[in-house]
């Protein structure tokens, strides 16, 4: 048996997504910027996709900018906010994805932007009192950049509360929603968020495509020059088949979303119970309350045993795919910046298990069986 429990890194593409992408690749090859019928057909597909996506997140089509994925979208929001909106101070945290963290380093080093880090508790929760203190004491134009759900430990940010604080102090608000978009309902009509980001491959869509939501009232220039595509906001010929796949994946995710959340949350809770009863000595990293934790992510500290440093490798040999943290830092020797950011125990082996709508109870049982075998060997 082979088990895939690394869905926070990427998810398998849904058959329905592959089907619509294949059809478009076979029948629609025109350049969307061309004025002839082939180009107009391609352009129509993109604009229909934009309208469909906007409907699901309660945004206007013109607020959706298609990108190569979440990393580009995060870079665009942060760099353009400093370059075009007069932002001189960014408030973020020490456990953001590197797409944000490295963009912050960029604007700090090259655009003289001040970076402040909000305090976190041991579970990765943002200290809202400290956030308000930072906002109230800043004399510069501020961008708050905090992710909706941490990709390694799953702790959720209270988007509504943070958005209200940003509005109170007239700050812009960017949230990396790569791990949550199409996993939770998002209504941008009631959330005071100026930028959110999306990567299709996190919810059974294709890699290499996503989008940036930018509030229509925010004037910005493109990050990527070279053409007037995306209503002048991003140069480069659009990835038509990828955009169609992204749209289909969003449509599928919004069918019976509550039922899907309940099913995967039940599997996560079941795995926690099995680990605690059959392995013992484990500690969950991050929040355990389902209202405060991403239902697709479970990060666990295991008890110390003789071969703990080999746990991930040995699980892989048993046919189980999981990770120690973000796939974007796989192979690095520096350790997880997220675990460091919450002062977690660096001497214990942690494993991140992450689930999808295709995960089964049988796969969880198989994984538990192999973990017990490895620890007791």
Give dist(CA 20, CA 88) in Å, integer: 44
- How far lies 360's CA from each of 151, 357, 367, in Å? 21, 8, 11
Does 328 participate in catalysis according to the annotation? yes
Give me the helices (H) in 111-187, please.
128-137, 159-168
Closest CA to 126 of 106, 146, 140, 107: 146
Give dist(CA 236, CA 32) in Å, integer: 11
Maximum C-alpha span of the chain: 67
Q: Which residue among 80, 198, 322, 328 is the active-site one?
A: 328
Q: What is the DSSP code (8-state) at residue 181? A: B
Give dist(CA 74, CA 81) in Å, integer: 11
Q: What is the DSSP code (8-state) at residue 72? A: H
Q: Which residue has the tokens 């795995």?
A: 271
CB-based contacts of 2, cutoff 8 Å, min separation 6: 319, 320, 321
* Count of residues making up the chain: 377
For the chain, where are the E strands, in sequence order?
3-4, 64-67, 89-92, 114-117, 142-145, 172-175, 195-199, 210-214, 283-285, 297-301, 320-321, 350-354
Catalytic residues: 328
């Amino acid at each position: 048996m082979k088990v895939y429990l690394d869905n926070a890194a990427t998810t398998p593409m849904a058959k329905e997504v592959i089907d619509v992408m294949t059809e478009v690749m076979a029948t629609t090859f025109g350049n969307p910027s061309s004025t002839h019928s082939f180009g107009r057909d391609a352009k129509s597909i993109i604009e229909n996709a934009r309208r469909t996506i906007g409907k699901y997140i309660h945004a206007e089509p013109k607020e959706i900018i298609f990108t190569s994925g979440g990393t580009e979208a995060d870079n665009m929001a942060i760099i353009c906010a400093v370059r075009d909106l007069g932002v001189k101070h960014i408030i973020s945290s020490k456990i953001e994805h590197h797409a944000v963290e490295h963009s912050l380093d960029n604007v700090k080093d090259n655009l003289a932007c001040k970076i402040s880090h909000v305090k976190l508790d041991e579970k990765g929760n943002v200290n809202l009192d400290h956030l308000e203190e930072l906002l109230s004491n800043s004399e510069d134009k501020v961008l708050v950049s905090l992710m909706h759900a941490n990709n390694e430990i799953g702790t959720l940010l209270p988007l509504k509360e943070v958005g209200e604080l940003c509005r109170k102090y007239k700050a812009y608000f960017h949230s990396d929603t790569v791990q949550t978009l199409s996993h939770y309902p998002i209504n941008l009509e009631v959330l005071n968020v100026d930028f959110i980001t999306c990567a299709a491959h996190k919810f059974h869509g294709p890699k290499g495509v996503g989008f940036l939501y930018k509030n229509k009232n925010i004037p910005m220039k493109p990050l990527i020059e070279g053409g007037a595509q995306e209503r002048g906001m991003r140069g480069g010929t659009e990835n038509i088949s990828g955009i169609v796949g992204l749209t289909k994946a969003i449509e599928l995710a919004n069918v019976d979303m509550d039922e899907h959340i309940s099913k995967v949350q039940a599997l996560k809770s079941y795995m926690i119970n099995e680990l605690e009863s059959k392995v013992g000595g484990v500690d969950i990293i991050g929040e355990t309350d389902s209202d405060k934790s991403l239902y697709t992510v479970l990060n666990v500290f295991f008890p110390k045993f003789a071969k703990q440093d080999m746990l991930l490798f040995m699980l892989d040999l048993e046919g189980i795919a999981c990770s120690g943290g973000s796939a974007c830092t796989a192979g690095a020797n520096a350790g997880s910046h997220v675990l460091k950011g919450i002062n977690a125990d660096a001497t214990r082996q942690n494993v991140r298990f992450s689930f999808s709508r295709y995960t089964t109870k049988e796969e969880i049982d198989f994984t538990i069986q192999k973990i017990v075998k490895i620890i007791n060997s």
